[in-house]
Amino acid sequence: MQKMSSVKKAAITAICIALCYVLPVAFHAVGAGPYFSPMHIPVLLCGLICGPGYGLFCGIAGPVISSTTGMPSMTQLPYFLPELMIYGLVCGLMMKFIRTKRTMADIYIAMASAMLLGRVVGGVAQALVVQLLGTGKVFNVTVWATSYFLTAIPGIATHLILVPVLYLTLEKAGMIPKRYTKEN
């Protein structure tokens, strides 16, 4: 696999952070934001393309900057932030260490790992916030499973379809290096 310069990685990360701001505004404008989790798309993509450090940074900066629009709200940010941090970090780590010789397999292993772990960490963070702040909200395993998995099915499906397509399109267009060549 060819290496990508740190300047190019920084530029891609900046674009992904900007998308973390723009996509929620667009999706929420038509009422689709809560169902499709649009901010997750650029964070996942950044981790896959740029690696764990850049993915982690995108997972922090994206939601913090987007919170200025109220998406996520300041009350959601403490548990939204850890979820997206894990998304970017784990996607990057898995792409760094998983080498199946099949790009699609690598992408799906990275995304599934990040999405599962991110949702667990987000749920734990939300439970802690609810417990520490004594908000009066009920948060238990049923609420967590419903909000992080059942309600999120359209977003999960969209991410699992769209993110690999975007990655492969960027690779085919020569905008990012090919993960596998005949030599490796």
Q: Is the pLDDT at 126 greater than 90, yes or no?
A: no
Which tokens in the block code for residue 172?
């085919």
pLDDT at residue 70, as a whole number: 87
pLDDT at residue 165, as a whole number: 98
pTM of the model: 0.92
Closest CA to 162 of 42, 35, 75, 28: 42
The whole-angstrom separation of Cα 145 and Cα 77 is 19
Greater model confidence, 62 or 73:
62
What is the band of 135 on the pLDDT scale with cuts at 50, 70, 90? low
What is the band of 182 on the pLDDT scale with cuts at 50, 70, 90? confident
Q: Is the pLDDT at 1 greater than 60, yes or no?
A: no
Which tokens in the block code for residue 139?
């948060």
Count helices and strands (H / E) in the chain: 8, 0
